[in-house]
Structure 1
């Protein structure tokens, strides 16, 4: 019974800590609204909505005319080993593992009581929360957006290519076999690539190369047409860029330069110092965790001491 009460108290304290930290984070985001008036709201010219719409029309149209039909012919001629390899790569575009990893990390950070932490450790924890929450939001929100687009459009998937061809649409049918355009996995790839490229700018080209092959795997695996993958990547990348732009105007995790480029607010040297602070904190907690686990074990296995005899007056 005492153990159950101990777990109950710990759970309630954890929920209170998460709620208090969440309210604080929300209040900080709201108070940063005043910084948007003094910040340059300019975006890159290529990222203007009309320019992105033109890019989507041209790119999607070229894919439909020159690639969609032909891709189903040369895909069938590929060796079986290719399909097996790209099938494994195809699973990397699933948003579930990204959402679980970033969501759990956010909850772990929110459960920390950082009032007694040092300045560098507080900066590391706050930065980790900002970037993990940013990744969670962009992947989740862009995934919901693409669902609202693809299901009403009703484009037939490549598995129906032999029966219906590459350009068959059946709007408002709301079936999984008719939800090909745009690709949800490719949307996740586009949102993730832009988010990670902004968080880790020195790795941006490697991240983009990995994202290219993951998005292409949807075509080789036979789940989507090239136009589906292209539009999905563009949709996810656009959503992630404008989400980062909103944060950069408030100087939360990112900042804007004079030409409209988005840069990570945490510098290289500060990022290294935060990493060392986190690593040192983890190393210091390991002996404490061992001591606490040993004391908890002794608490569980400890036998109750017998009552000592004494003279009691019966009433």
Structure 2
């Protein structure tokens, strides 16, 4: 969980993501075109495309549903982790509705004379109609925010899988840029939202999280001893 060292690392990573997002803002269009021009080998490209599932609501519901059903010992902690994932997704999607930004794949559909000349031209005025139109829901990346939240939640319960979970979250975030669904700054901002939400969320639930871990371990020990 979040000890003082982990908090410092989280703050450093949060600031790094925000700083990188700001640096990308003036060049997002160019970066998007450049990244999509790369020739990614077939199997690697398929893996990147499939990784979107790690941030998809139905996959998350399936994975957490299976874990809640089978891993009785960690059920309470998994519920806390799932609450964190849902919270991060809700925050990211609320930001999407408030701050309109045209997606890269929507720009691709525009006629040549209407193409934006600068990366800053793809923004709209706040609260100006992005609530339901997916073409204007680019910022931030809800998939990136959710994928990183899943990685953090699963790592809290299964710490040995940390780098596996984080790697899947990173690849899922890359997929959002490769598929022209988001810009680099969208993805970095989505990750930053999750990190910031985690710094607020986890210290508040940590006592309960750790208490549930010891309680469930004791119950499992008693159950095994009685069999």
The TM tier, using the shorter chain, reads 0.7 to 0.9
- Asked if residue 145 in structure 1 is aligned to residue 101 in structure 2, the reply is no
Show the counterpart of 1:94: 56
1:58 to 19, 33, 36: 19
How many residues in Structure 1 have an aligned counterpart in Structure 2? 211
Computed over aligned residues only, the root mean square deviation of the Cα atoms, in angstroms, reads 3.7
Structure number having the greater helix percentage: 2
2:166 to 182, 189, 208: 208
- How far is the alpha carbon of 1:197 from its aligned partner? 1.6
- Asked if residue 130 in structure 1 is aligned to residue 76 in structure 2, the reply is yes
Distance in 1, matches of 2:186 and 2:87, equals 19
TM-score, normalised to structure 1, is 0.56
Distance change (3 Å), C-alpha of 1:192 and 1:79: closer
User: Any idea what SS the aligned residue of 2:208 has?
Assistant: coil
Distance change (3 Å), C-alpha of 1:201 and 1:161: same
Show the counterpart of 1:35: none
- How far is the alpha carbon of 1:150 from its aligned partner? 1.1
Distance change (3 Å), C-alpha of 1:130 and 1:170: same
Any residues of structure 2 matched to 1:1-315 within 5 Å, and which? 44-47=7-10, 54-65=15-26, 68-79=29-40, 81=42, 83-102=45-64, 125=72, 127-162=73-108, 163-164=115-116, 166-167=119-120, 168-171=122-125, 172-174=128-130, 175-248=133-206, 251-254=207-210, 265-266=213-214, 270=217, 274=220
Distance in 2, matches of 1:212 and 1:52, equals 14
Note the residue ranges of structure 1 that are not aligned, 5 or more in a row: 1-39, 110-123, 256-263, 285-315
Q: Which has the larger radius of gyration?
A: 1
Distance in 1, matches of 2:156 and 2:56, equals 21
Q: Is the 8 A contact 1:244 1:254 kept in 2?
A: no
Note the residue ranges of structure 2 that are not aligned, 5 or more in a row: 109-114
User: Any idea what SS the aligned residue of 1:237 has?
Assistant: helix
